[in-house]
Structures are given as structure tokens and as C-alpha cells.
Amino acid sequence: MDMRAELQQYDPYRAFTRAEWAKLREDTPMTLTASEVERLHSMHDRLDIKEVEEIYLPLSRLLSFYVASTQRLFFAQRRFLGIQDRKMPYIIGVAGSVAVGKSTTARVLQALLARWSPMPKVDLVTTDGFLYPNAVLEREGLMQKKGFPESYDLRALLSFLSDIKAGRHPVRAPVYSHLTYDIVPGGGIEVDQPDILIVEGLNVLQTGRLPSDGKAVPFVSDFFDFSVYIDADETILRDWYVERFLTLRGTAFSDPRSYFNRYAKLSDEEATETALSIWNTINLVNLRENVLPTRPRATLILEKGANHVIEKVSLRRL
């Protein structure tokens, strides 16, 4: 067999069925109650104790090894260089399409990791807060590309992550309101030297064109120590998006302050048609052009079936 054929056969991931992955939990204790698990999942997503036990506890155990190994490497480098740098936060990126359940995964990981011994400080930041304000998007003609890479203040996001890795504190991150569909003026959260930081967002694994002169160009993922991509088939994602839209029509959209209040009184047929139009013209395009191409860059891929259950786990080989 020639070299090209061998390369074509090489898979950078080890794939596990749900049953195979669940066995890797071993003796990792369950530290969440059923009521806590219920509060962690997003409105349209599905999460139960079994999902935590079979998927997230093994992942928690794996992450404990990765974090410990990174800490040992940090101290070894510090001894080698003869410096006294403070240990920097371990940063985990969570990526995937709209409606795939990124927020649920990020919150479950935060809850589990925060209960490791000796109770590390685990913070969670979403990149929604780094979207440009609507006024800027409207001025630049980008409102129909909200969530695309160009709709984010990348400079601000990179500065935030750089400050976190440099050990500066506290570092402020802007806050996004899904009710008003805009950045909260004057709002923000403080991230003050966490042991672990989870960064969740559509395009956190996005790269860009490298300059021909070889100058360094930082990407968000350069700051990650571990990354997770939540995956599902396009048709499944579309159905989940429509389902969520129909649910929001009778909940958040009914609030007079909601940016989407105009959709609250649509009939089922009208709401479905509207949701499909938004999905096909915005979210599907972003998925195909920007989000899905980043999947092979993740350390771990969680593949979901139509019932929101994770059916397959793929871990990048070392």
C-alpha cells in the first residue's frame, strides 16, 4: 500500500458507541441531583440523569486527566525557565450549530467540573456577548448575517481571552440579551481568575486566511486547551430549530419587550413557514459555510440523534 492510500485510511479520531463511552466513567461519582439536571438543560433540549451518567461523567473523568497533565506540563516548563508565572486557567471551547444544544453541554460541564475535588472555580462565557450591537450591524448591513464570523467583535473577544490567559483580573465580558436580541448597554460579567473557563459559541473553532508574510494571526481556538463540537444532521437541526421557534412563540416572543414579539401571534402554519425561511436563508448557510467546517478541529465530537440523545463520541488521537 502506498503512502497516499495509508493517509486516506488514517482517521485522527477514535470513535466510541454510546455503550463503549459509558463504560469509561468507571467510578466517577454522580454529583448532580435529578432536579439540578433538570435545571441545566435548555428549553427545547433533552437531558436526564442517564445522559449525564453515560456521556458527561466519562467526559468529566477524561477532562480531569487532561487538566492534571496540563498543570504538570506548566510546572515543568516553569522550572525549566526559572520563572514564577501563576498557573493560567484551563480553557474549554464548546462549538456547534444553532439549536444543537451547546448551552446545555456547557452548563452541564460547568456544574460537573465545579464539583471536582478540591472544588475548582469554573466560569462560563458565551460569545453572544461579543456580537456587535444591532446599531453597528444595521449600519454595516450585517443584521441578516448575525452569528456569522463577521458579526462578532473579534478584536474584543481575542483581547478578553488574552487577558484571561495572561492572568489579569478581573476581566469583563459583555452580556447579550436574547429577549431584546442585542447587547445589554453597560452590562457585563466579571471573570476573576477561574481555574477553568468554558467558552461557548457558534464559531469558536473558526480560523481564517493566514497572511503570506508569515505574521502571527491569533484565532479564538488558539487559547483553548480542549474543545468540544456538538453535531447532528442538517435535517435534525432544522426540525429542532422550528420546534424551538414554535415554543418561543408562546413564551419569550409574547413579551412586549421581545425583539421577536411580531411573531407571537402567528398561526402554526405561519410560524413554521417563518422559522423555515430563517433557517434556510441564515442558519443553514452559516452552518455550511462557517460552523460545520470547524468540526474536524475539535478535540471531541458529540453526535446527537433525533431525540437529542448523544449516540456517538469521537476523541482526537494524541
Structure confidence at residue 42 as a pLDDT band (50, 70, 90): confident
Cell of 186: 453597560
Count of domains for the chain? 1
10 Å CB burial of residue 18 (0-12, 13-18, 19+) is middle
pLDDT of residue 213: 79
Given a cut of 90, is residue 239 above it in pLDDT?
A: yes
Structure confidence at residue 41 as a pLDDT band (50, 70, 90): confident
pLDDT of residue 180: 94
**Sign of the dihedral through C-alpha 285, 287, 290, 292:** negative
Q: Which residue has the higher pLDDT, 38 or 10?
A: 38
Residue 226 counted as domain residue = yes
Q: What's this model's pTM, rounded to 2 decimal places? A: 0.94
Residue 6 counted as domain residue = no
Given a cut of 80, is residue 269 above it in pLDDT?
A: yes
pLDDT of residue 221: 94
Residue 1 counted as domain residue = no
Cell of 151: 458579526
Residue 48 counted as domain residue = yes
Cell of 79: 522550572
Residue 277 counted as domain residue = yes
Residues 67-87 have pLDDT tens digits of 999 999 999 999 999 988 777
Structural domain of residue 68, as residue ranges? Answer: 13-206+216-316
pLDDT of residue 176: 96
Cell of 156: 474584543
Residue 8 counted as domain residue = no
What's the mean pLDDT when you consider all of the chain?
92
Mean pLDDT for 17-35 is: 95
Mean pLDDT for 30-47 is: 88
Mean pLDDT for 285-305 is: 97
- Work out the percent of the chain whose per-residue pLDDT is above 90: 83
Given a cut of 50, is residue 231 above it in pLDDT?
A: yes
CATH of the domain at 84: 3.40.50.300
Q: Are 291 and 229 in contact (CB under 8 A)?
A: no
Mean pLDDT for 280-290 is: 97
Given a cut of 90, is residue 230 above it in pLDDT?
A: yes
pLDDT of residue 208: 78
Check residue 38 and give left, alpha or beta (phi > 0: left; psi -120 to 50: alpha). alpha
Residue 2 counted as domain residue = no
Residue 118 counted as domain residue = yes
Given a cut of 80, is residue 64 above it in pLDDT?
A: yes
Structure confidence at residue 234 as a pLDDT band (50, 70, 90): very high
